[in-house]
Amino acid sequence: MPLPVFKNAAVTSGLFITGSSFLLANTILVVLPFYLTGLVGIVPLEVGYIMAAYPLILAAAGPFAGALSDRYGSRLFQFLGLCGMGGGSLILTLWLEQLSMLEIVLTLALTGFGMGLVTSPNNSFIMKNVASHYVGTIGGMVALMRNVGMVFGAALGLGFMNGVSFDEKAQAMGAFTSVFGINVVFLF
């Protein structure tokens, strides 16, 4: 483990952004299907179609943001991406119960777009700040932070949902609001 690399604030902050963005995204991706099936009553197949908005927009935005960040730098894209992800979490925190299915799809698309703006530019940002002989090791650290973020995001979301009865709508909505609200607080 090349500990001197972590003295570089760009590398450390980039790894933190990686873990944080995947935590935020995975919290939404793990918890929102429970809302859609448990409270709204949508069948799982339709939930899958709704949830597809996130990866589809992410797949479109990632290469676009990566190419632009190579030309103009990463910081603006990282910032805008985190704002998009935070905006998606804020919408889910404040208005989840009032959102139509189209609005939920658009919120997932906003979150996916934000993640697309974060991921490629952030990876580029990290790698540009690492000596060439550490690129492989730091690439492994990026993958580790991505997985740590996904695991903690799932644990956070499922932890809040543990013991929630969907028969008690107020209790369930409180759990959903808490999960998404923590995302907002964590991001900002």
Where are the domains positioned within the chain? 17-38+45-187
**pLDDT digit string, tens, across residues 13-62:** 999 999 999 999 999 999 999 999 999 999 999 999 999 999 999 999 99
Output the pTM of the full model: 0.94
Instruction: Domain 17-38+45-187: give its CATH code.
Output: 1.20.1250.20
Q: How far apart are the first and last CA of the chain?
A: 30
Orientation of helix 44-51 relative to helix 101-128, angle to 10°: 50
Grouping H, G, I as helix, E, B as strand and the rest as coil, residue 110 is: helix
**pLDDT digit string, tens, across residues 123-154:** 999 999 998 999 999 999 999 999 999 999 99
DSSP string spanning 69-94?
HHHH-SHHHHHHHHHHHHHHHHHHHH
- H/E stretch holding 47 reads helix 44-51
pLDDT at 188: 73
Q: 181: closest CA among 28, 21, 6, 13?
A: 28
